[in-house]
Amino acid sequence: MKKGWMVRAGEAGRLIDDFEKVGCVAVGWDNMGDLTDVASREEMDERLWEAYQEDNKAQHAKSLEQIYKFRFEIEKGDVVVSYNKTDREYLVGEVTGEYKYEPGIVQDYKNIIPVNWIGKVSRDDLSIESRNSLGAIQTLFSLNEDILGEIKTLLKGETPEGTPLEIADEEIEFDILKLNIIGRANEFIKDKLLKLSWDEMQEFVAGILRAMGYKTKVSSPGPDRGKDIIASPDGLGIQQPRIKIQVKHRLKTRSGIEEINSFLGVLLQNEVGLFVSTGGFSKDAYYKAESAQNQLTLIDLDDLVKLYVQYYESIDPDTKALVPLIKVYWPA
């Protein structure tokens, strides 16, 4: 019987384009070297301790479980899924070969399994139960038959019947469960943010900046000469830093190098730029921002959620009303 697996494309899905282009899934733990000659779980355990001696027992156990599954349990014919956070889509494919160690294929990830990608499923089309399950933040975990059935139904262009779904891993540890819940909560916050209108998103970003200690001036509707918000310590732009903020609120549309160049053109010599794009950024946009003469920070949807959660206690009531959160207590 075909098994199903979620394999995340690196931190925040940074390798998803490589996964799709090369036709594979990949994981790290590169210090372990080529695992082709590893024949047992015991050997894997020893190799992992040698490579990552600084890990504590809990970290070691989590890593061992995931790298062992990648090396020995994922088989030809299995279904694999990986998430594209920018497009909010799950890339779905079928394993076409065995594990191999190939440096240089997927940036800094050398442990590879070949995959034939067969389609994509929008996160918005999945049931809430499936979103919960697929929102787990582990690098790799197995999927049960209900999740696979829903994904396969969506690939056919049909609407699946909603059923309660769970991650098929009964041995999930307490701290992993905590991280999973945090990951799912962040995904739900992103869902709420994407429903904001453009002017609400502009006010939302300004609210976060105020919580960080800046005074802001939001541009009125109409031509804004390339900026949507001005922020500075005094609110007048006299004290440094003087920050110009551009906000692009578009689903599944990445901001590219043309928009970055246009924004850089409105920054004066001593001004700092902040470009917020809920649709994410192209690789060229990141390269341009890093090499720009002015300091320019790019903020995508994930970054926006992290800032909102981090400064939530200091956020003003009007901004909180846009996306209200509740505090959940967890055992220390």
Q: Is the pLDDT of residue 319 over 90?
A: yes
Q: Is the pLDDT of residue 13 over 90?
A: no
Peptide bond into 160 cis (omega under 30): no
275 by Cβ neighbours in 10 Å (0-12 / 13-18 / 19+) ranks as buried
Largest interatomic CA distance in the chain? 67
Query: Which single residue is written with the structure tokens 């003469």?
Result: 293
pTM equals: 0.61
pLDDT score for 167: 39
Of 54-58, 63-67, 106-110, 156-160, the range with the lowest mean pLDDT is: 156-160
Q: What is the mean pLDDT of residues 161-184?
A: 59
Cα angle 149-137-85, degrees, rounded to a multiple of 5: 75
* Dihedral angle of Cα 132, 137, 139, 141, to the nearest 10 degrees: -30
pLDDT score for 162: 52
78 by Cβ neighbours in 10 Å (0-12 / 13-18 / 19+) ranks as buried
- pLDDT confidence of 165, banded at 50, 70, 90? very low
Closest CA relative to residue 301, chosen from 268, 264, 253, 259: 253
Cα angle 118-135-121, degrees, rounded to a multiple of 5: 25
User: What are the DSSP calls for 50-71, one per residue?
Assistant: HH-TT--HHHHHHHHHHHHIII
Q: Is the pLDDT of residue 237 over 80?
A: no
Query: Which single residue is written with the structure tokens 């950024």?
Result: 281
Residue with the larger pLDDT of the pair 224 and 78 = 78
198-322: what fold? Trna Endonuclease; Chain: A, domain 1 (3.40.1350)
Cα angle 244-290-211, degrees, rounded to a multiple of 5: 40
User: What are the DSSP calls for 268-307, one per residue?
Assistant: -TTEEEEEEETT-B-HHHHHHHHH-SS-EEEE-HHHHHHH
**DSSP character at residue 73:** I
- pLDDT tens for 246-288 read 999 988 789 999 999 999 998 888 889 999 999 999 989 999 9
pLDDT score for 59: 84
Task: Determine the 3-state secondary structure of 115 from DSSP.
Answer: strand
CA 182 – CA 304 distance, rounded (Å): 15
- pLDDT tens for 281-292 read 998 999 999 888
Structure tokens, 235: 């609110």
Question: Could you tell me where in the chain the CATH 3.40.1350.10 domains are found?
Answer: 198-322
Q: What is the mean pLDDT of residues 143-149?
A: 87
Helices 174-194 and 301-310 cross at an angle (nearest 10°) of 110
The terminus-to-terminus CA distance of the chain in angstroms comes to 40
